[in-house]
Structure 1
Amino acid sequence: MNLSLKKYVLPLKHTFSISRESHNFQDTLIACLSHQGKTGYGEATSNPYYKITLESMEQEIEAIKKEIESFDFTTPEKFHAFLTTKKLSNFALCALDLAAHDLYGKLLEKPLYSIWGTDISSYPITNYTIGLDTLEKMVEKIKEFPWPIYKIKLGTDHDVAIIRELRKHTDAIFRVDANCAWTAEETIHNAPLLKELGVEFLEQPLKADDWNGMELVSHHSVLPTIADESCIVESDVEKCGLHYNGINIKLTKCGGLTPALRMISKGKEMGLKVMVGCMTESTVGISAIAQLLPQLDYVDMDGALLLKEDIADGIKILEHGKLIFPTLGGSGITLKA
């Protein structure tokens, strides 16, 4: 195989804020794996919360480039198993694993969802994220982008008031993501008020390691809860199943499609609702997520919709969440430049 890396700084349409950080640009790394005349593309974004930068991922991958290029590629799963012996961060591992899956499907001339034996005739609609902002700007974002499902980022001392005001401007489904900002008491108090306002579920209300708090929430919240920061890797699924109603799997955090498929299977086995989310990836990462759609209950794959400019072609998200799947094999990705 031939390996190359491309670094991009993706400008966002709006300042993106959650309870702990804000940014106007998203740094992203694209891994390109070429073999037998085909090229597969994978992506991982930087993330300050997890102390991941473009430079750190690039250094990790470049350090084993010769080993990667000499690897006898047959399947993404065998490639992933090889990579896990190299002590890569899960973010760097994700970029390579997604590229391997895209390459594999292109070599077989089949999309991944077909290789996995799933049917795209029915799939969940992605939510569109409204980041924390002034109330006026949050309302403006909803008016600017009419959508059937919104994920609302919260984490203030007036969160219920925010949802009450936003509800005046749309009858869309709301999902609330506090990004670890609430206490158990706040969650239990807010849940019935938010349920009356059309909120479907609460994502990661408490700190990732507050299992005692989540034990209280699991018994007293009138809204379902979905784990995000508490559910990073495969071993987290079982513990989350005891405290949450569902899990939000991030490809970048767990290390790519290979472990994500196992996490989906484990989550379903435990009776959990299964969601896959994004980390403001371009269409490269979003197209990989799209291949999982038939297996999911919920999805957050709006990353490319939040960008001023995209860097790739692949899955196309149309009005009201309808999708046009790419005709290429794999995840169906082509880079624009």
Structure 2
Amino acid sequence: MRIEIRKYELQLQHPFGISRETHVTQDTMIVSLSHKGKTGYGESTSNPYYHITVESMKAEIAAVQNQIEAYEFDTPERFHSHLENLGLQNFTLCALDLAAHDLYGKLLDKPLYKIWETDSSKYPITNYTIGIDTIEKMVEKLKEKPWPVYKIKLGTTDDVVIVRELRKHTNSVFRIDANCAWTAEQTVANAPQLKELGVEFLEQPLKADDWEGMERVKMESVLPVIADESCIEEGDVEKCSGYFNGINIKLTKCGGLTPALRMIKKAKELGLKVMVGCMTESTVGISAIAQLLPQLDYVDMDGSMLLKEDIAKGVTIKSNGEIVFPILAGSGVTLK
């Protein structure tokens, strides 16, 4: 098996603001795994919150590249275990795991959702994210992209005012992501007003480790609450079940499709709603997420829609939210 690594600086259409940062580009690492005449592609983006850079991921792979390339590839699950034994952290694991799944599907000549025996005829529509900006700019972004479901990033001194203004311009469903910026008191106070404004749920309103605050929010909030920063890995799912109504799984944070599939199963056993989110990936990462769609209640896979120019071909998201799966097997990815 042969590995290739590429770094790209993805240019965003607009500055993307959340409660703790704003950026106009996104660095990403694309990994390709080639075996028996087929090539699979995987992706992980850099992330300052988790202290991850493309350089740190590349260095991890370079340190064990010989062991990876010498591995007799059979299934993504066994390959993932091999990579864990090599000590790779989750963002790096994700890129390799996504590439392994894409490769596996291409070797079997089947898309992943068919290998998993799921039906792609029914799936949730992805939300489109409106990042924090001036109210005027946020309204402008919303008008520029008519969409059935919006995720609104909040964490300002005027959060309810922002949503009230956005509501004047669309009847679409709103989801709110405060990215850890609120207190329990603010969340409980904001929730009734936001519910009246057509908000479906709140995502990670409190700091990731504020379990006492989340206990109050779970009891008193009139809106469901979805965990993001509080739910990183498989072991977090059960803990979150006592404090949240659902979880948002990020492939980069949990280590790829292999653990994500187990997290989905566990969450459903616990009665949690299941969402999978993106980290502003290109179509490489988004196409991997799309394979999970039949298993999800909600999805946030708009990363490639936020880019000025994509670097890959794969799953296509049409203007009404419909997904067009590629004819190519695996995740269906090719680089441009």
Compute the TM-score of the two structures, normalised by the length of structure 1: 0.99
Aligned residues: 336
Cα displacement string for residues 260-308 of structure 1 (whole angstroms, at most 9, x for unaligned residues): 0000000000000000000000000000000000000000000000000
For 1:104-253, list aligned pairs within 5 A.
Answer: 104-253=104-253
Q: Which residue of 1 aligns with 2:58?
A: 58
Aligned to 2:79: 79
Q: Which residue of 1 aligns with 2:332?
A: 332
How far did 1:13 drift?
0.1
Give 1:246 deviation, angstroms: 0.2
Q: How many percent identity over aligned positions?
A: 73
1:279 maps to what in 2?
279
1:249-260 map, 5 Å:
249-260=249-260
- Following the alignment from structure 1 to structure 2, what is the Cα–Cα distance between the partners of residues 136 and 284? 32
Give the secondary-structure state (helix, strand or coil) at the position aligned to 2:212: helix
TM-score scaled to structure 2, two decimals? 1.00
- Give 1:319 shift: 1.0
Does the residue aligned with 2:156 lie in a helix, a strand or coil?
Answer: coil
Structure 2 partner of 1:35: 35
Distance, in Å, in 2 between the alignment partners of 1:192 and 1:41 is 44
CA distance in 1, matches of 2:327, 2:283: 15
Matched with 1:267 is: 267
C-alpha displacement of 1:157: 1.2
Partners in 2 of 1:308 and 1:267 — Cα distance? Answer: 35
Please give the alpha-carbon distance, in whole angstroms, between the structure 2 residues aligned to 1:327 and 1:296. Answer: 22
Counterpart of 2:301?
301
Residue of structure 1 equivalent to 2:3: 3
Q: Distance in 1 between matches of 2:47 and 2:321?
A: 27
AA partner of residue 59 (structure 1): A
Residue of structure 2 equivalent to 1:320: 320
Letter in 2 for 1:287: S
> What's the offset of the Cα at 1:158?
1.0
Q: What is the aligned partner in structure 2 of residue 98 from structure 1?
A: 98
Please list every run of 5 or more consecutive structure 1 residues that lacks an aligned counterpart in the other structure.
Answer: none
Quote the offset at 1:87 in angstroms.
Answer: 1.4
Post-superposition shift, 1:88? 1.0
| CA–CA separation in structure 1 for the residues paired with 2:327 and 2:204 | 36
Q: Deviations over 1:95-132 (max 9, x none)?
A: 00000000000000000000000000100000000000
Give, in whole Å, the separation in 1 of the partners of 2:54 and 2:120. Answer: 34
CA positional deviation for 1:198: 0.0
Matched to 1:306, the amino acid is: L
Q: Secondary structure at the match of 1:321?
A: coil
Aligned-partner Cα distance in 2 for 1:187–1:320: 32
SS at match of 1:103: helix
Deviation at 1:250, TM superposition (A): 0.0
Give the 4+ runs in structure 1 shifted more than 3 A.
Answer: none
In the aligned structure 2, how far is the partner of 1:326 from the partner of 1:56? 32
Report the Cα distance in structure 1 between the residues aligned to 2:66 and 2:156, rounded to whole angstroms.
Answer: 48
Letter paired with 1:143: K
Shift of 1:89: 1.4
Distance of 1:272 and 1:85 partners within structure 2 = 30
Counterpart of 1:226 in structure 2: which amino acid? I
What runs of 5+ residues in structure 2 fail to find an aligned partner? none
